[in-house]
Structure 1
Amino acid sequence: MNTRAGEVAAGRSSDMLRIAVIGGGFTGAAFIIHAIHASQSAAGDETALRLQFDLIERSAEIGRGIAYSTRDPLHRINVPSDRMSLFCDDPTHATRWLIAHDLLDPGSTDANGHHYVSREHYGAYVAATLRDTVAAAGDRVRFTHWRASATAIHVAGTVHEVILDTGVSIEADRIALCIGHAAPALPCEISDATLRNPALITNPWAPQAFERIPQHASVLVVGTGLTMADCAVSLLERGHRGPITAISRRGLLAQPQGLFSSEADFLGDAQPPSTVRALLRMLRERIAREMPLRGWQPAVDALRFDLARVWQALPPSEQRRVVRRLLPFWDVHRFRVAPQVHAVLREAIDARRIVVETKGIAGIDDNARDGFVVTLKQRSGAREQRVFDRIVFCTGPARNISANPLVHSLLAAGRARLDGAGIGLDVDSHSQLRERDGGLVAGLFAFGPITRGSFGEMSGAPDIARHIERLLKDEKTSILSVPV
């Protein structure tokens, strides 16, 4: 990009729709792929909609984001590849691509024939599908990747302006916010000097993150969810012999996969419950019915596929109660761990090579010789100090999305508002952004994890792709309508 600072990147013919996509991880890539497919006309039709995409993503790699940027082959997708296709009507699309490119490693296939490939290889599938889709569209699609961050959006009628931190501004008819998960929050106050200590690993996805940990070092892992499972596998498979302690306030571990189900029949003919208590009762009754023959997983999946309807029937006060009290329990049952990873983790816990403790963290001091003095706190409030050689943060994304400069500017300008649960941006059923007074912002849409509070669930790649594909195919959605 050689656009001068302050210059407006514009210029299009009257039949071209300009779309700025902010965020080039999985969500941004899925949006562009499905926008191109949804705009396809009959072969040879010269009236086919022409699209200009300006993708704003600082990373050189598109389609990976945080989830699929890891290069560790032991970090696997947590559902089989046949359930990770980018296309609803072609469930084996991802698996066929992985087989065609010889990316099914010997350890990826479980006893049931399901393929849990490395997240690096799945990210390669997403990136390749985007490249192929853009290439197949020919001159009907223009695509520009701006390696920058968006800091503000100016909404003016039917034409909007995206301001980049490089000084460039981009005009667009539509804007798709696909910024993904917020960065993990620090578990406690930590000095800048401690954060700079290489023995404190704040990004477990960084290249060679675990190679810096000596085999006999005592390791504290902060967090006990899916990221901790990946961390544990990386350490153990590299022959780590030192003690590993994993802590979280509830001590909840990601649950194993079981029987898969795609039945969106949680409610059946019943009305959605209006309280959390009633919802829990329905879920427990469903699990009790299915547990003897199918296990609890299909019941959780049934709720997942019906969750948008269930969630939107709950008053905001009940939604906030879910976030405060139940969200961690839902997450460990909803986002389950790959069987290969679960087997390694379970064996290590049973052998006491990993100890899981229900504790929080109150402070970290790196004044200990070759290590850290960590203040741990129990739920009772009691505190203790222990020394660890290394610390790895596996705390998951923060819920304060307003820490993102772009989101902060939209909220401050009244062009966006938080959802009723306070964990994301408020959008309507077509993912159009709601401004401060509740009205819809023309041409401004949001997708992916930042809309979780509007739909109840929008974090897993299959759910994001399914939602985007459905909306872009819906003629009632205005995303692909050419402005007059």
Structure 2
Amino acid sequence: MSVHPQPEYPAADVLIIGGGLSGALLAAQLLRQPGRRRLLVIEPRSELGRGEAYSATHLGHTLNGNAARMSVDPDNADDLTHWLEQHIAAGGWPESALQAVPVAELFPPRGLFGVYARQRLAQAQALGECQGSSLAHVRAEVVDLQVDERGVRLDLDDGRIVHGARAVLATGMFAAARTARIDDDRFNAAAVDPWDVSAMGRIDPRGRVLIIGAGLTMVDAVVSLEQAGHRGPIEVFSRHGLLPQVRRQPPDWSDFLAADPDLRSPLQLLRALRGQCRQAQALGIDWQAPLDTVRVHIARLWSQASDRQRRQFVRHVRPWWESHHHRSPPQGAALLARLVEEGRLRIHAASLQGLASVPGESPVISVRFRGQSQTTEVAGAALINSSGIEYDWRRVDRPLPRQLLHRRLIRPGPLALGIAADPGGAVQHADGQFSERLFAMGPPLRGLWWESTAVTDVALQAKALALRLATLQR
């Protein structure tokens, strides 16, 4: 058997681990910085900029924010709007006419957003090449990482080894549906991917589908089922039984947090926000208007809160925050409302206790409904895991997180959300020291900033981290 030699790469100035949106935006910002630098992005997918979120191929899987909220350029909030205007004028996305709203208010398909992100990266790459910088995409998965005083070494799953002066963990989100968890291998093996429309086409179109989780991933799963031709009942189980609110376009509201610096704790914020929402409703204004002013203050409020206050927020407020802040795009919300009205979709407040069947058989789950002490077994034709994102790296059964923890190169972030780092993204080792070689951005910093996954959050972090890395000596 012949062995094909693996290509070798010279040592990089920055190794970017992950080529989804986080890695692509960081690469683009670094390429725009003055000076010459060599970047390597290690990403197993064939295209950079898409990652988990923007690899969707069906038009029904849309962004949950309108174009005006989703620019990848932190210095130009209208960048996506302008790109869409040009794209539509050139004949792209003819289905946009069905939404009958201004371009800034459109909710583009996630796959189309991936095209936009890739194009912006290509433009930055062309600019970087003019300045002597380079970008290479290494198609592989990083399975191990070592740091010493000379730099960083990455071991890849195909046996290659790459070196660099510094590395950035831009791993994005570990979706529960696509991430084997150490304690529930059987459950994931029995579940259908929420975004796999072709797999859903093999489900009995009249069969009962069981969905675990009621967040935005569930909305995607229901859209996938609809596109696959499923017409049977759908049973959704989540601990609190809360559906995502539909995202609307509320009018501007005064920034009440900027006007009152004494509001510091999550509890104070919640009380003040409820009062603002009541005021808005009394004036006939959408309650989402006051809520949308909170976003720019979230990082500050979360970072200055005590661990006790954070735990209180996660335990008592988080479900309502998630359902009201991370809202559903109008198309998905309309589909859910129609299916509920038809009696095909039912939402249950119940916690999953386990899988009662074995993979390969019709799934049977064990759940405990809210207010009951005993468990109930529920059978279906198919099971979908829509339980969202796994932020606790200790529970993610992937080679790199395991090795980073084993080598004590990372430590869990606050409340075990992501990993610990300083405000500039330098990763904190298990001994408490902040690394001079290893950095992180985006979803891994959930515990540091709470909201660290939205496009605008990631874009701002990419710009700040690129500026920091550009100032460091090799």
Tell me the TM-score normalized by structure 1.
0.86
2:213: which partner in 1?
223
> 1:261·1:301 contact (CA, 8 Å) conserved in 2?
no
1:208 aligns to 2:198 (yes or no): yes
Answer yes or no: is the 8 Å Cα contact 1:109–1:115 preserved in 2. no
Partner of 1:253: 243
Taking the TM superposition and a 5 Å limit, the aligned residue runs for 1:9-28 are 9-11=9-11, 18-28=13-23
Alpha-carbon shift at residue 462 of structure 1 (Å): 2.0
1:390 to 363, 382, 393: 382
Task: Provide the C-alpha distance between the structure 1 equivalents of 2:99 and 2:305, rounded to a whole number of angstroms.
Answer: 39
Say which of 289, 295, 304 aligns to 2:295.
304
* Code of the aligned partner of 2:305: L
Higher mean Cα deviation, 81-90 or 273-282?
A: 273-282
Contact 1:173 1:483 in 2 (8 A): no
Q: Is the 8 A contact 2:22 2:441 kept in 1?
A: yes
Cα distance change of structure 1 residues 240 and 161 upon mapping to structure 2, 3 Å threshold:
closer
Amino acid at match of 2:444: I
What SS is found at the alignment partner of 1:323? Answer: helix
Moved more, 400-409 or 260-269: 260-269
Deviation at 1:135, TM superposition (A): 2.5
**Alignment match, 1:159:** 151
Letter in 2 for 1:442: E
Partner SS for 2:76: coil
Residue 165 of structure 2 corresponds to 173
Q: Secondary structure at the match of 1:375?
A: strand
- My pick for the range that moved more, 176-185 or 365-374, is 365-374
**Pair 1:349–1:144, CA change in 2 (3 A):** same
Contact persistence 1:85–1:94 (CA under 8 A): yes
Aligned partner of 2:37 among 47, 51, 56: 51
Counterpart-to-counterpart distance in 2, 1:355 and 1:348: 9
Letter in 2 for 1:304: R
Shift of 1:233: 2.4
- Partner SS for 1:285: helix
Query: SS of the counterpart of 2:199?
Result: coil
- Aligned-pair CA distance for 1:459: 1.1
**Judging changes above 3 Å, is the alpha-carbon distance between structure 1 residues 331 and 128 closer, same or farther for their aligned structure 2 residues?**
same
CA distance in 1, matches of 2:250, 2:84: 21
SS at match of 1:209: helix
Matches within 5 A, 1:448-463: 448-463=442-457
Distance 1:153 1:211 in 2: 40
Would the alpha carbon gap of residues 469 and 75 (structure 1) be closer, same or farther in structure 2, given more than 3 Å must change? same
* Deviation by residue 1:21-58 (Cα, 9 ceiling, x = unmatched): 00011111111111112x14xxxxxxxx1121111111
Q: Describe the shift of the 1:323–1:65 C-alpha distance in structure 2 as closer, same or farther (beyond 3 A).
A: same
| SS, match of residue 257 in structure 2 | coil
1:312-327 aligned within 5 A: 312-327=303-318
2:23 is aligned with 1:32: no
The aligned runs of 1:11-160 (5 Å cut-off) are: 11=11, 18-37=13-32, 39-40=33-34, 49-101=35-87, 102-107=91-96, 110-113=99-102, 114-138=105-129, 140-157=132-149, 159-160=151-152
Structure 1 window deviating more from structure 2 (303-312 vs 365-374): it is 365-374
Distance 1:263 1:10 in 2: 52
SS of residue paired to 2:205:
coil
Letter in 2 for 1:10: P
Among residues 276, 279, 298, which one is paired with 1:286 in the alignment? 276
Distance 1:186 1:273, change over 3 A: farther
AA matched with 2:212:
V
User: In the TM superposition, what is the alpha-carbon distance from 1:356 to its structure 2 partner?
Assistant: 0.8
CA distance in 1, matches of 2:297, 2:392: 26
Gaps of 5+ in 2: none
Q: Aligned pair 1:330/2:321, yes or no?
A: yes
Partner amino acid for 2:149?
G
> Is the CA contact (8 Å cut-off) linking 2:31 and 2:127 kept in structure 1?
no
Deviations 1:110-142 (A, max 9, x none): 454221111111111112221232133225222
Using the size of structure 2 for normalisation, the TM-score is 0.88
Q: Which has the higher helix share?
A: 2
Deviations 1:420-467 (A, max 9, x none): 221111122211212234332113211111101101210112221123
Q: Secondary structure at the match of 1:60?
A: coil
**Distance between the aligned counterparts of 1:264 and 1:435, measured in 2?**
41
SS state at 2:414 partner: coil
| 2:224 paired residue number | 234
CA distance in 2, matches of 1:88, 1:468: 9
Instruction: State how far apart, in whole Å, the 1-side matches of 2:181 and 2:368 are.
Output: 12
In the alignment, structure 1 residue 270 sits paired with structure 2 residue 260 = yes
CA RMSD, Structure 1 to Structure 2 (Å):
2.9
1:369 and 1:414 map into 2 onto residues whose CA distance is 38
Number of residues paired by the alignment? 460
Give the residue type in structure 2 aligned to 1:151. V
- Conserved? CA contact 1:361–1:376, under 8 Å: yes
The sequence identity of aligned pairs, in percent, is 27
Kept after mapping to 2: 8 A contact 1:104/1:115: no
Residue 359 of structure 1 aligns to a residue in which SS? strand
In the TM superposition, what are the counterparts of 1:418-457 in structure 2 within 5 Å?
A: 418-457=412-451
- The aligned residue for residue 409 of structure 2 is 415
Task: In structure 2, give the amino acid aligned to 1:211.
Answer: G
Which stretch has the larger CA shift, 131-140 or 144-153? 131-140
Q: Which runs of 5+ in 1 are unaligned?
A: 12-16, 41-48
**Is 2:245–2:327's contact at 8 Å kept on the other side of the alignment?**
yes
Give the letter aligned to residue 391 of structure 1. L
Measure, in 1, the Cα distance between the counterparts of 2:162 and 2:138: 10
Q: Deviations over 1:340-397 (max 9, x none)?
A: 2111211211221211111122233447997333322113222222321111111111
Distance 1:370 1:152, change over 3 A: closer
Tell me the distance in 1 between the aligned counterparts of 2:181 and 2:37.
43
Cα distance in 2 for residues equivalent to 1:470 and 1:272 = 28
Q: Is the Cα–Cα contact under 8 Å of residues 272 and 309 in structure 1 kept in the other structure? A: no
For the structure 1 residues 243 and 368, does the alpha-carbon distance in structure 2 shift closer, same or farther, using more than 3 Å as the test?
farther
1:355 aligns with 2:346: yes
